Amino acid sequence: MSMNSQGRPTSPSAPSAPPAIETVSGSRGLQQREDLIFETGSTTKTGVDLPTPKGGMDRLGGVTRKKSVGLPGLSEPEAVRHYVRLSQQNYAIDLGLFPLGSCTMKHNPRLNEKVARMPGFADIHPLQPQSTVQGALELIDQLATWLKTLTGMPAVAMSPKAGAHGEFCGMMAIRGALMARGEIETRTRVLVPASAHGTNPATAVQCGFTVDEIKADARGRVDMEDLKSKLVDSSDIAGIMLTNPNTCGLFETDIREIADLIHEAGGYFYCDGANFNAIVGRVRPGDLGVDAMHINLHKTFSTPHGGGGPGAGPTVLSEALADFAPVPFVVEEDGVYHLVEQRSGEGSDAFGRLCAFHGQMGMFTRALTYMLSHGADGLKQAAEDAVLNANYLQSRLKKVMTPAFDGYCMHEALFSDAFTAEGIETLDIAKAMIDEGYHPMTMYFPLVVHGAMLIEPTETESKAELDRFCESLLSIAEKAKAGDESLKGAPYLAPKRRLDETQAARKPELRWSEPDKIAAE
């Protein structure tokens, strides 16, 4: 045994297999136990010590709250610890590889954060006089220019707050254009491939269209025969909503022909740009015949998914739709930037505004920082590396797992559950990944593949990390192939074991009540 000068042992001497330890605190080592915030705090407690206001006048016309709303009071350290502890039970891109397909969980560079926190961008208010926020307006204008250049499209609406919101913006612009043509009553049908993300048909319906589903072919792409058959009578066609690369991680090779067919039919081409990260710098959607496309800044341009408020899903528009963009937008005149709040001309009564102000400044700052720090060549390389990484994964994983389609993939690799033994499901593989310290991949999506597993490593990961991930997943896949029943119990090592999703959906309990109240009921 080695000793230090006080005689304290400096090397472990205990047996290596740990006994099963039950702790008194409920914490387990660095994993702190944490109760619900309602159980930690209490309604009779407060964390702040303020004098009761005196001489206040009720200006609320008698609607002043009379009872407490029952929020728990906590001290600052209690509140801070609560959320830090919860965050430690969670997974994050800052912890490890986050392979959620279609979500593009790439690294959020710290430089983005630094710039977003500069007071000139962070501490301004949308109602400030425009002369005092010229820099911020210029930033919006620059970002818009980058987006238009990268997509080869003439116009962009900056205000949508997410991909789905951008879809809404694009489809409303299509509505506006159809209205101007006097065809909104007759052109009501929107074609959507079977592999589409659920937001696509939801958006179409939300905008008053009906959805007509197009089949996927054996190559995982739009079935051209099915598409053509749906266009035989095209007098009611409003457009198509197509993702490219699609949600199977494949480039729609017939996209030019699809665009022409839709345009000949009198419809518009909405492209879901969620996967733009695979082609940015290499393909300009404007050259493919796209009329509208959202760009999830949190996917392609590295802004956090849900950090610092809502996201951003700017929507680029073709010449045909440019007049139907929402207000406001930024214009520059003699070096001075203005927000245009009112439109004139054809689209003046198109659909007004999408949200109160001009969009999500914090995300704009981060996205432009990413663009400027990478440069156009760097953005292209990021796309190429994302595709390379996905193909590396696909070629290693296919030794055990079944690729859903033949050939190379784009930025994500899709597998079916065909390789698993009877009784072992995609869900079991996903849960076992948690024990390996990885967030599971996207599962059961897209719907066109049985037991789908959609894996998107992004360009963030090194080869060493990809190898570690592959070895973990391959070991699970081997077990799934051999029918190892232990997978059904996974995860074993997570803070929470497998939850009962069925009961959670069938009998959701969405409200917390005090335990003694529950007992009394």
Partner 1 sequence: MTQFTQQTTFYTEDHEWVTVHGDLATVGITRYAAEQLGDVVFVETPEVGKTFKKGDEMAVVESVKAASDVYAPLSGEIIDTNSALADSPETVNEHPEGEGWFCVIKFSDGAETRNLMDKDAYFEFCKGQ
Ligand X SMILES: Cc1ncc(COP(=O)(O)O)c(C=O)c1O
**Joined tokens for residue 323:** 């007049």
Number of residues that bind partner 1 (CB under 8 A): 7
Shortest separation between residue 285's beta carbon and ligand X, angstroms: 14
| Rounded least distance, CB 195 to partner 1, Å | 13
- Closer residue to partner 1 (CB): 198 or 352: 198
Taking CB under 8 A as the binding criterion, the range among 243-251, 288-296, 313-321, 499-507 that sits at the site for partner 1 is 499-507
**What pairs with residue 189 in β-bridges?**
210, 237
458 touches which of ligand X, partner 1, none (CB within 5 to 8 A by kind)? none
**Closer by beta carbon to partner 1, 468 or else 488:** 488
Nearer to partner 1, 392 or 444 (CB): 444
- CA proximity to 257, closest of 292, 279, 231, 237: 231
- For residues 401 and 237, give the distance between their C-alpha atoms in angstroms, rounded to a whole number: 40
Provide, rounded to whole angstroms, the least separation between the CB of residue 498 and partner 1. Answer: 12
409 φ, ψ to 5°?
-110, 175
Which listed option, ligand X, partner 1, none, makes contact with residue 102 (CB within 5 to 8 Å by class)? ligand X
**Closer to ligand X at the Cβ: 162 or 316?**
162
Nearest-approach distance from CB 81 to ligand X, in angstroms: 31
Question: For the window 190-229, what string marks contact with partner 1 as x by the rule CB under 8 A?
Answer: --------x-------------------------------
Alpha helices in 89-180 (DSSP H): 110-116, 119-122, 134-151, 163-180
| Residue number with CB closer to partner 1 (201 or 314) | 201
Question: Under a CB-based contact definition with an 8 Å cutoff, are residues 461 and 385 in contact?
Answer: no
Residue 456 CA to residue 447 CA, distance in Å, equals: 17
Per partner kind, with CB cut-offs from 5 to 8 A, the member of ligand X, partner 1, none near residue 428 is none
Distance, in Å, from the CA atom of 281 to the CA atom of 383, rounded to the nearest integer, reads 8
Distance CA(3)–CA(514), nearest Å, equals: 53
Continuous segment of H or E residues that includes residue 373: helix 361-397
Instruction: Give residues in contact with ligand X (CB under 6 A).
Output: 102-103, 162-164, 197, 199, 243, 247, 272, 274, 296, 311, 313
Who's near 2: CB < 8 A, 6+ residues apart?
9, 10, 11
Q: Say how far apart CA 491 and CA 93 lie, in whole Å.
A: 20
DSSP 433-467: HHHTT----EES-STTSTT-EEE---TT--HHHHH
C-alpha neighbours within 13 Å on the C-beta side of residue 382: 23
Rounded CA gap, 446 and 424, in Å? 19
Shorter beta-carbon distance to partner 1: residue 59 or 506: 506
Q: Structure tokens of 398?
A: 């296919």
Q: How far apart are CA 299 and CA 103, in angstroms?
A: 7
Q: Among partner 1, ligand X, none, what binds residue 296 when CB lies within 5 to 8 Å by partner kind?
A: ligand X
Under a CB-based contact definition with an 8 Å cutoff, are residues 430 and 440 in contact?
yes
User: Among 93, 100, 194, which residue's Cα sits nearest to residue 454?
Assistant: 100
Could you tell which of ligand X, partner 1, none binds residue 502, using a CB distance below 5 to 8 A set by kind?
partner 1
Q: Based on CB atoms, which residue is closest to ligand X, 199 or 389?
A: 199
Tell me the two tokens of residue 213.
């589903």
Residue 317 · residue 156 · CB < 8 Å: yes
- Of 170 and 347, nearer to ligand X (C-beta) is 170
Residues 408-447 that bind partner 1 (CB under 8 A): 444, 447
304 or 313: whose CB is closer to ligand X?
Answer: 313
447 binds, among ligand X, partner 1, none (CB under 5 to 8 A by kind): partner 1
Task: Pick between residue 72 and residue 163 the one whose CB is nearest to ligand X.
Answer: 163
Kindly state the smallest distance separating residue 361's Cβ from ligand X, in Å. Answer: 17
Residue 243 touches which member of ligand X, partner 1, none, C-beta under 5-8 Å by kind: ligand X
Minimum distance of partner 1 from residue 487's CB (angstroms): 16
Q: Determine the interface stretch with partner 1 among 105-113, 226-234, 245-253, 500-508 (rule: CB under 8 A).
A: 500-508
Which residue minimizes CB distance to ligand X?
163
| DSSP per-residue string spanning 178-197 | HHHTT-TTT--EEEEETT--
Q: Give the nearest distance from C-beta 451 to partner 1 in angstroms.
A: 9
Q: Which of 8, 59, 110, 506 binds partner 1 (CB under 8 A)?
A: 506
**Where on the chain is the footprint of partner 1 (CB under 8 A)?**
198, 444, 447, 501-502, 505-506
